Each structure stands twice: as structure tokens, then as C-alpha cells.
Structure 1
Amino acid sequence: MGESDDILLRYCLQKFDELTQLVVDLGDELANLRPDVEGANSPVAILVHCCGMMRNWSSTVNLGVPIPRHRDAEFRARTTVAEVASLARTTRSAFEGDVRQTVLDSAPVAVPPGREEFWTGTCRGVLLHVFEELCQHLGQAEITRDLLSAGQPAAPGS
């Protein structure tokens, strides 16, 4: 990997680490609540989704090594912060390994039908998409944390 590729990987890992720490810092109760806002997710669900998203793009798409995933279930996830932190550590390590064995200027092996976007032309473009998603979901988790910490009522069934 070249220096700029290492920077991209480090940025992805940094945002993922920030998201993981945010969830852990909330503790089991708040991390599993979701604000009473239509379409809102709990911080745990956001992190579980990011774990699935990262490995989907880094392994399934870029390397052609399928990683089983149930995207809808990611958004319904409920678990302890210790368990989700363990999942995050495993995901982080596997993602870094995927990226380090990827030829970033090559075309992804398995772009999903209907996802032929401008950024799917190279594996590097796919990783830039992962970075974009991590930044978006970190912001979502920060807003969610702020709402929950301010006493925003939780949605029914949270």
C-alpha cells in the first residue's frame, strides 16, 4: 500500500474507532435505545450496521470473498456494549486485513447489481465509499447520543 492508501485506511479506522467508543461510552441501556423519531436507530444498531457494511465492501465486493450478512437485522440489533465492542474489534481487524491484501487500483471483484456507481470502478473508490458511510453514520450516532442524553423519549419497543 502506498502512503495515500495508508492514510485512507487510517481515516476509515479512526472514524470506526470513534463510533465504537461513542457506543461503549453510552453504556448498555442508552446504547440500545433509539429516539422517538421516525426511522431512528439505536447507537448499537448503527455500529452493528457499520460492521456489516465495512466487511461487505472490503471482502465481498473488493475481494470476492463472501461475508454473510443480514442488513435488516443489523438495524434491529440489541446487545451489550461489551459484545458489540468485541464485534467491532473483530470487524476492525478483518477489515484492515482485507484492505492490506487489496490491490486498490484494481476493479472490485463483485460489485452488486444496481450499485454500478462512479466509485465502484476501483477498490480504492469502494474504500472511499466506506469512509463516506462511516462519517455519515458517526454523525448519525452523535446526534442520536445527544438526543438520548438530553432525555429524548425512546421509541416504543426500544
Structure 2
Amino acid sequence: MLTPEEYLHVCDIALDGMTAIVTELGDDLACTHPPLDGANTPFAILTHCLGVMHAWAGHRVAGRPLQRDRDAEFRAQGPVADLLAATEQARAQLHADVHACDPRAPLTATTGHRLEAHITTAGAALLHVLEELTQHHGQMQVTRDLLVQAPGRHR
């Protein structure tokens, strides 16, 4: 099975990639929707990932209170510097949570989320965090490409 360091290395690759993208785009483009119906901004995608980390690793695995407005994550805007600081804080907490958990242990807390029918252990919850981080990193790469290649923009 994976060691905590191996698991966190892959999480960090995704987080590093997403922070690099919002940094590259800057405050304006990071908060811009690509030209697709219903598409999210890079800022919102990363904000959502922080919410996923808090909900699944922080609440369900570590047992901290859940304070999350999932809908607001997709409307989030602001300075990239603030998002980068929040990401580093969430990353440090994820590292601590992963090192402190027993992956075979049952979830510490539940919310009634439909996935909890299949995600019943700390290890499975952490795999879900990894799934979300990697898929949203890819989504953000495509989003970045759409934004920088939009008419009137050059890379």
C-alpha cells in the first residue's frame, strides 16, 4: 500500500500544478470563466479543491467540524495571493491529517453524502481527495488553455 509520503507526493503534484496555473493567469484571468456554458474559473476550481480537502480529510477523516458552502466555492473570486496562502494552509493541514490517520479506520464523521455509502474508511476518503485533486488539476489545465487562447489573448 502507499505510504503517507507517496500519497502526499501525488497530492502535492496536483496542488503545485493548480497553484502554478492561477499564478500564471494572475488575478483577472484566474477569475475569468472560459467560453463554455457552465464552466468554472480556475480560481473557483482550486477553491473547490480546498473545500474537498476540508470536507473529506478534515471532517470525515480527522473529525474537525465541517464549515463548507460548496455552492460558494464555485462563485469564489479574489486575489490569487490570498488563494495561494489558503492553499498552503490547506496543504499543511492535509499533510498533518494524512500522517495522523489510520487508513483502515472508519470515517470519524459523516454527513449523509451519497458517496459515504461506498467511502467508509479513512483510506477511501483520502483516495477520494486524491481523485478530486487530480481530476480538477486536469480540468484547470484545459481551462487555462481556453482562457489564454481566447480571441484577443496571446500566450
Counterpart AA for 1:66: P
The equivalent of 1:115 in structure 2 is: 115
Does residue 78 (structure 1) correspond to residue 77 (structure 2)? The answer is: yes
CA distance in 2, matches of 1:83, 1:25: 15
Counterpart AA for 1:128: L
Is the alpha carbon distance of 1:97 and 1:152 closer, same or farther for their aligned partners in structure 2, counting shifts above 3 Å? farther
CA distance in 1, matches of 2:104, 2:13: 23
Contact 1:36 1:152 (8 Å CA) reproduced = no
Map 1:67-146 onto structure 2 (within 5 A).
67-113=66-112, 114-118=114-118, 120-146=119-145
1:30-71 residue CA offsets vs partner (Å, 9 max, x unmatched) = 111011211100000001110111111111111221131111
The equivalent of 2:40 in structure 1 is: 41
TM-score, normalised by the number of residues in structure 1: 0.88
1:135-158 residue CA offsets vs partner (Å, 9 max, x unmatched) = 1101110111000000169xxxxx
Contact 1:62 1:109 (8 Å CA) reproduced = yes
Contact 2:35 2:146 (8 Å CA) reproduced = no
Is the alpha carbon distance of 1:21 and 1:122 closer, same or farther for their aligned partners in structure 2, counting shifts above 3 Å? same
Give the drift of 1:3: 5.5
Is the alpha carbon distance of 1:117 and 1:14 closer, same or farther for their aligned partners in structure 2, counting shifts above 3 Å? farther
Contact 1:35 1:152 (8 Å CA) reproduced = no
CA distance in 2, matches of 1:19, 1:49: 12
Counterpart AA for 1:29: D
Identity %: 38
Specify every segment of 5 or more residues in structure 1 that has no aligned partner in the other structure, as ranges. 154-158
CA distance in 2, matches of 1:95, 1:151: 35
SS of the residue 1:52 aligns to: helix
Moved over 3 A (4+): none
- The count of corresponding residues between Structure 1 and Structure 2 is 151
Map 1:43-62 onto structure 2 (within 5 A).
43-62=42-61
Contact 2:4 2:98 (8 Å CA) reproduced = no
TM-score, normalised by the number of residues in structure 2: 0.90
